[in-house]
């Protein structure tokens, strides 16, 4: 079997700062701020972007680049919707895309944007290791100047092997072909903590699912842990990276941290259950929802 050469999933703040200094942001290198925060909270991603961002960056609006007809939170848009959206951001199939976000953890939404490019066939995409938090902390330049990139043509082709549906997840309960890992906190996974920001959505998990909270892949400073540490984490959970793997969470966002972590270990084909617990809770029969919620509340 020929070893697949993987594109670098992470770029350092130093590397990107040098690219900014050398005026390399343009058709061949685009930077996207993929920040998102719960509506009604203290932070407004678009306002923060307008006030300061990495020079040359554009805002990747997850609320615009999604399937707006879906009853679930941030389901993938169509190929055409994605292609048109990123084309307006000046991204072609030849562009190296670097994504970051401003979350206090260091990285939260950026891996979702990274996976979206990959699921639509774009190989040259990276996450800024440490995110905007460390970019600012290290004293790299920020600006409030808006960027208006020249529109480009992007052709999207959906890679279905990286995407799983509710029906796929039901089938997997019988076939057990895929290992399934849930990236939410242990309390939300078990059903002892409420699900944030979503009315009517109780916590819990899909049967036969392992729990690996996404934030454990990050250091206290907000950088991705070393490949050796990540590999040990998978081994401790008895997740075999040589076998098929699906990642899930609440809405298909932090699940992408599992995909990124596995990719860093040389496993590029982790699939995301896009609807995740948000869809499963609403569609699955009661016996297929594992939760301590009612007992915990009592």
Q: Is the pLDDT of residue 4 over 80?
A: no
In the set 65, 249, 256, 265, the catalytic residue is 249
Q: Assess whether 249 carries a catalytic annotation.
A: yes
Burial of 226 per CB tally in 10 Å (0-12, 13-18, 19+): exposed
Band (93; pLDDT cuts 50, 70, 90): very high
pLDDT digits (tens, 9 = 90+) for 169-189: 999 999 999 999 999 999 999
Q: Is the pLDDT of residue 298 over 70?
A: no
Section 60-76 average pLDDT: 95
CATH 3.40.250.10 residue ranges for the chain: 10-158, 161-297
Chain mean pLDDT for the chain: 95
Q: Is the pLDDT of residue 296 over 80?
A: no
Residue 2 pLDDT: 37
Yes or no: is domain 161-297 CATH 3.40.50.1100?
no
Residue 3 pLDDT: 43
- Go through 174-198 and write b for each residue having 16 or more CB atoms within 10 A of its CB, e for each that does not: eeeebbbbbbbbeebbbbbbebeee
The structure tokens 């990107």 sit at 16
pLDDT digits (tens, 9 = 90+) for 253-291: 999 999 999 999 999 999 999 999 999 999 999 999 999
* Among the listed residues 13, 170, 26, the one whose alpha carbon sits nearest the alpha carbon of residue 97: 26
Residue 1 pLDDT: 32
Single pTM value for the model = 0.96
* Among the listed residues 66, 67, 120, the one whose alpha carbon sits nearest the alpha carbon of residue 97: 120
Q: Is the pLDDT of residue 198 over 80?
A: no
> For residues 48 and 46, what is the distance between their CA atoms, to the nearest angstrom?
5
Q: Which fold has domain 10-158?
A: Oxidized Rhodanese; domain 1 (3.40.250)
């Amino acid at each position: 079997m020929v070893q697949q050469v993987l594109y670098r999933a992470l770029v350092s703040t130093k590397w990107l700062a040098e690219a900014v200094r050398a005026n390399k942001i343009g058709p061949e290198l685009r930077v996207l701020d993929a920040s998102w925060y719960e509506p009604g909270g203290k932070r407004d991603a678009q306002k923060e972007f307008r006030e300061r961002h990495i020079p040359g960056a554009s805002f990747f609006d997850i609320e615009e680049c999604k399937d707006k007809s879906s009853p679930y939170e941030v389901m993938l848009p169509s190929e055409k919707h994605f292609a048109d959206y990123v084309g307006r951001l000046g991204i072609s199939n030849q562009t190296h895309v670097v994504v970051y976000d401003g979350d206090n953890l260091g990285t939260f939404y950026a891996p979702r944007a990274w996976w979206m490019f990959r699921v639509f066939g774009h190989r040259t995409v990276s996450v800024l290791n440490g995110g905007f938090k460390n970019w600012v902390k290290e004293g790299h330049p920020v600006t409030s100047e808006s960027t208006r990139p020249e529109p480009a043509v992007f052709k999207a082709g959906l890679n279905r092997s990286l995407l799983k549906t509710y029906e796929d997840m039901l089938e997997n309960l019988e076939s057990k072909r895929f290992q399934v890992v849930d990236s939410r906190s242990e309390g939300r996974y078990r059903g002892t903590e409420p699900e944030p920001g979503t009315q009517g959505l109780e916590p819990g998990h899909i049967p036969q699912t392992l729990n690996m909270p996404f934030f454990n892949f990050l250091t206290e400073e907000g950088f991705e842990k070393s490949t050796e540490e990540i590999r040990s984490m998978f081994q401790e959970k008895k997740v075999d990276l040589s076998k098929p793997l699906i990642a899930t969470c609440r809405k298909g966002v932090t699940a992408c941290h599992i995909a990124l972590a596995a990719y860093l270990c040389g496993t590029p084909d982790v699939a995301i259950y896009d609807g995740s617990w948000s869809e499963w809770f609403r569609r699955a029969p009661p016996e297929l929802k594992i939760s301590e919620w009612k007992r915990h509340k009592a």
